[in-house]
Structure 1
Amino acid sequence: MQYLVVIRVVSGLLGITFALWAFVQFRKRFIKRYEFFLLAILGTGLFTVAIYPDSINIIAGMMAMDNRQYGRIIALLILSNMLLWLLVISQRSKDSIKSIQFDLLVRRIAMERFFEKNAVKTVKEITVIIPALNEAENLDHLLPRIPESIMGRPLGVLVIDDGSVDGTPDIVKKHGYSVVSNPINRGGGAALRLGYDIAMA
């Protein structure tokens, strides 16, 4: 039975440490209020179960598992998994928000650089947006073949350089078309969104 006592003591210490760590993180504004509550519940719950194991009977009773074999353990596992899933979903949500904010920041920087060099709006009523990553050779063949107008309307070309290292912007400028460069490679979808932002600005 001594090993059970050791497990309970260690679990209790871990629970207290976890709850205190969550409090410190919350005070430093590293986590939000709801995240603090979830972490505090986990830490406090671990401490409570370690000090008073029969408290699991309350949870097991609520889940109608108090009379089943291993009912207490199953109830505890279900509850802990639910809390952990809430933490995972919360973290995924934070990551998604940060990704969106980062995407907006990169696009904003690229747009500001573009309009600093192009005081006059160079986007035509009809504009072809071409995302490009290391496409200097292909663009050198493609751009001269693009017509200047379609059905009497001038046609503009806006190339989105998505972090190329082969001189793609120089090729575009050589053919007299506008090019905006992403500070870093963001992928075709992000390049197109940047092009839409500039075309609609």
Structure 2
Amino acid sequence: MYDGRNESSSPFEQTVYLLSETGKAVDRLLTAGLARRGLSPVHHALLSALARLGPHGRHDLTARVTAPAPEVDQALEDLLSAHLLQSMVVHVGGRQEVLTVTASGRAALDVLHTDASAVQEDLLASLTKGQRVELNSLLRRVRATVARGTGRRPDPQGEGGWTLTPGPRRSWTPVREGAGATDEPDAAEAG
């Protein structure tokens, strides 16, 4: 059972820190589940992208996955050799390899979604159904704000505070009102 009395009263630790730590834990659990099936997050991302977007050229698909190109290429080869993806060569505007998800690939993706649902159930076991719905709604709103880029971001130069100075002799220096972060500190501040 959760006991909020043992938590910090810092808003940073109650929101940003908790979201970050929870996200890391979810990533670890999902990655472990994928590893038990002999897959990685890259395999999952490729299968999901093709299932959601439909057939794609290899080059276009590779650009959609945020992982090093050799890792993406190896994952594609793994999925092709396991018959979870199918490759076709088409001649539209030149020769291009187009990848699609096979029936086996869709079945594998269903299993991975079931695994992810089990992780979600474990993580949210302490919440009521209503709390789960509310949490989902709140997280969707936060994600939409992030996607729009409309969240307020602190500006250490405009609001005062502290910043790490550039250059070979870096220091944690107070920012003076109206001064940029690249300004040299006053002699009194530097000493």
Which range, TM-score by smaller chain? under 0.3
**Structure showing greater Rg:** 1
**Bigger relative contact order, structure 1 or 2 (CA pairs below 8 A, ≥6 apart):** 1
TM-score (norm 1): 0.26
